[in-house]
Amino acid sequence: MQAIRIRPAKTVHPEFFASQNRPDKGSVPKFLNHAVGEIVESPDAAAMCLGEDPLFAPHDEDCRKAVAKLLASPKRVHDLARLKTMYANRSQLSQKAREYVEAIFGKHKAEIQNETPAQVAVAAK
């Protein structure tokens, strides 16, 4: 299953800390830079494509199908429907509960409106 990187990123070089104690490793940079367009193959590729601002989008058909399955899971659909209901009735909540619901709704707003990169990629096929 393949995903394509849609945002640049840095990760810690896996040999960086070991290289400090082993002179034979030479000079190892602390971070690895990952460019937009990098293809990653992983069994977790679909999960890496989810969220409001993911680093990846589905690249192959297997990943698109897996993302569609995750997005359509009954628990996820139920939780988003419950969040929409809570948000619609937020005026009846205490100040603290209202702030919490508004924060959570803001975090998931793009998914509720079907605008996340994963939803766009799944809809395109």
> pLDDT tens digits for 64-123?
999 999 988 999 999 999 999 999 999 999 999 999 999 999 888 888 888 888 888 888
Which sequence spans correspond to the domains of the chain?
Answer: 2-124
**pLDDT exceeds 70 at position 125:** no
pTM metric for this prediction:
0.72
As a dihedral over the C-alpha atoms of residue 106, residue 110, residue 111, residue 112, rounded to 10 degrees, the angle is 70
Cβ-Cβ contacts under 8 Å for 120 (sequence gap 6 or more):
114
| CA atoms of 4 and 36, how far apart (whole Å) | 8
